[in-house]
Structure 1
Amino acid sequence: MVNVSARAMAIRLCAVGLVIWAGAAAAAGTGAPEPWQIAMQTPVTEVARDIHWFHTLLMWIITIITVFVAGLLGYCIWRFNEKTNPTPSKTSHNTTIEVLWTVVPVLILVMIAVPSFRLLRKQLIIPPADITIKTTGHSWYWEYEYAGDKDGKGGFKFDANLVEEKDLKPGQLRLLATDNDVVVPVNKIVRLQVTAADVIHAFAVPSFGIKIDAMPGRMNETWFKAEREGVYHGQCSELCGQRHAYMPITVKVVSEAAYAAWLAEAQKKFASTDAPAGASRLADAAVR
């Protein structure tokens, strides 16, 4: 009877574990962190998938090394303690072991380096872009500028501020929702130019596999190609001051038709009658 109960308890524990794991995996598709989530957010770009694959590879390597070293230490403690081995060995060198513990780590590092360099190359070489968006980090909000194209589409900019908890609408997430969202079309290459107006910030969207520093006086670049429509969230990932935790990023990935409609509306909504952007930036620099 005891064995049956123990087996039933083990089955229940396994079932609970599977439910938690499945729930976390399903919830990760929202483009935002979820309670009890044990894995990274579901990737929606090729680069993000490669990052997840590389992360899994490293976890397996780390786990194997940890188990091996722990087992080796346990064996040494059991085999060479004072009680079982009263006469200690005076061996000071073993050529075979010394060659192995030099060659094997080198081979492991080479195995890690090959996919690592391939991933870095994919992240750093930006393909021809369909859309270019400049984002500037301020203390403490993000400013986005859509570059105009030859057809006159784009050429506007707007600020995106945190939606305070008391102003949240149904479906908006606390500390992640913004009053103006970045909108991009699905399956299009988006080139991001990232800088800062005051201190160092960092632009990060986990589901896209992007995280890049926003440096004052420097323009950094990255890119993404979202393969699934939805709403994806990120945050500033650099400790940038008092309200560091309150400058979220919200990106809406929509169909091409929906993007064209939003673009037409945004050009009217964010149309500026002020001085040209370049003059405005020079004025801001002079004030700083």
Structure 2
Amino acid sequence: MFGVMFWALLKHRKSTGAVAAQFHESTKVEILWTTIPFLILIGMAIPATKTLIAMEDTSKADLTIKVTGSQWKWHYEYMGHDVEFYSLLSTPRDEINDLQDKNDNYLLEVDNHLVIPTDRKVRFLMTSNDVIHSWWVPDFAVKKDANPGFINEAWTKVNEEGIYRGQCAELCGKDHGFMPVVVEAVSPENFEVWLDDAKAAKAKAAAESQAVAEQILSKEELMEVGEQTYMAYCAACHQPTGLGLPGVFPAMKGSEIVIGDLKPHIDILLLGRPGTAMQAFAKQLTIKQIAGVITYKRNSWGNDTGEVIQPSQIQQEIDALEEAK
């Protein structure tokens, strides 16, 4: 552009006192320089419009996955396949706290990958349980907000098998940076195998949960399970010390709920508390984990209630809530 401009300036420069040429407008030239750019724009607009429409067209999908964001994890539900799970950051706390060297995938690895088939159109339904999140995978050219009470749609079709990484791209609270997305694309055949394995694992977990409900666990075992569960799911808000963050997340130490009647304590873990960051953990944790974490909370940081909560008590409360629906 600048080269042509400077060439024209030099080529057509005139000496001082030169008489300017006199000419009248040319209708043909005006028609040409109007028509040609117009046709070029039309030629560009047609394929661009088709592409934009195709980008937003989520119909005729081979697989639909509901993606639900919450502080600070993702929940994936394979619609019509009875498979769902949570995906949480799996980076060790020692790495986060600079107690050990960080690996190449620091803050980019999760416990459960979202698995999708290659060469298939996969539709995503985005929503949120609490605040606004944003599901972003750059390699898919997909970035959609997950808004509470709304559904946004997107789709992708992956050609190559592999691991694709992304992030939550909407500031959503103190652990926003600890909310990665990991998608694993596999062949359609391997996807069907994975889907069958996931269904079998769910059935096995249900059977194991029933078996656990019939067990009587020791306080030591429940405290061990409870500490692990607390550190993985609760410590980010309520802090490892149980002191919480004043004005933001309540303390567990000396809490009326923690040292008070058992039923409200169980209910708040199972159902959460709408309008706050306290999530419902009924589908996130096993009855053994819930029994363990309640036992741990009620017997730590000076909360010496001496109570031991068994998985059967949690199962009874879950059954009662189901009957009340």
Number of the residue aligned with 1:267: 202
The residue identity in structure 2 corresponding to 1:159 is S
Q: Does 1:194 align with 2:126?
A: yes
Q: Does 1:159 align with 2:87?
A: yes
Residue 144 of structure 1 aligns to a residue in which SS? Answer: strand
CA contact (8 A) 2:89 2:108 kept: no
CA contact (8 A) 2:115 2:183 kept: yes
Q: Does 1:174 align with 2:106?
A: yes
1:210-229 equivalence runs, <5 A: 210-229=142-161
Displacement of 1:219 in angstroms is 0.2
1:204-283 equivalence runs, <5 A: 204-238=136-170, 244-254=176-186, 255-260=190-195, 262-264=197-199, 267=202
- TM-score (norm: length of structure 1): 0.56
The residue identity in structure 1 corresponding to 2:198 is L
Displacement of 1:220 in angstroms is 1.0
Q: Does 1:128 align with 2:60?
A: yes
Number of the residue aligned with 2:218: none
For residues 91 and 208 of structure 1, do their structure 2 counterparts lie closer, same or farther at Cα, with a shift above 3 Å needed? Answer: same
Number of the residue aligned with 2:5: 73
For residues 129 and 191 of structure 1, do their structure 2 counterparts lie closer, same or farther at Cα, with a shift above 3 Å needed? Answer: same
Number of the residue aligned with 2:70: 138
CA contact (8 A) 1:176 1:248 kept: yes
- TM-score (norm: length of structure 2): 0.50
For residues 127 and 87 of structure 1, do their structure 2 counterparts lie closer, same or farther at Cα, with a shift above 3 Å needed? Answer: same
Displacement of 1:218 in angstroms is 1.4
The superposition leaves residues 162-217 of structure 1 with CA deviations (integer Å, 9 ceiling, x where unpaired) of 63692799986234322321112333332210123444433232333333232332
Higher relative contact order, chain-length normalized (CA < 8 Å, sep 6+): 1
CA contact (8 A) 1:161 1:178 kept: yes
Q: Where in structure 1 are there 5+ consecutive unaligned residues?
A: 1-68, 274-279
Q: Where in structure 2 are there 5+ consecutive unaligned residues?
A: 211-268, 278-325
CA contact (8 A) 2:113 2:182 kept: yes
- Once residues 146 and 172 of structure 1 are traced to their aligned partners in structure 2, the CA distance between those partners, rounded to angstroms, is 30
Displacement of 1:107 in angstroms is 1.9
TM-align CA RMSD? 4.1
1:62-101 equivalence runs, <5 A: 69-81=1-13, 87=19, 95-101=27-33
- Once residues 120 and 110 of structure 1 are traced to their aligned partners in structure 2, the CA distance between those partners, rounded to angstroms, is 15
The residue identity in structure 2 corresponding to 1:182 is L
Match of 2:79 among 130, 147, 153: 147
**May I ask how many residue pairs the two structures share in their alignment?**
210
Displacement of 1:285 in angstroms is 4.6
Displacement of 1:246 in angstroms is 4.3
- Once residues 108 and 34 of structure 2 are traced to their aligned partners in structure 1, the CA distance between those partners, rounded to angstroms, is 47
Displacement of 1:241 in angstroms is 5.9
For residues 258 and 100 of structure 1, do their structure 2 counterparts lie closer, same or farther at Cα, with a shift above 3 Å needed? Answer: same
Displacement of 1:140 in angstroms is 4.2
Report the structure number with the largest CA radius of gyration. Answer: 2
The superposition leaves residues 2-41 of structure 1 with CA deviations (integer Å, 9 ceiling, x where unpaired) of xxxxxxxxxxxxxxxxxxxxxxxxxxxxxxxxxxxxxxxx
- Give the stretch that moved more between structures: 235-244 or 117-126: 235-244
The residue identity in structure 2 corresponding to 1:161 is L
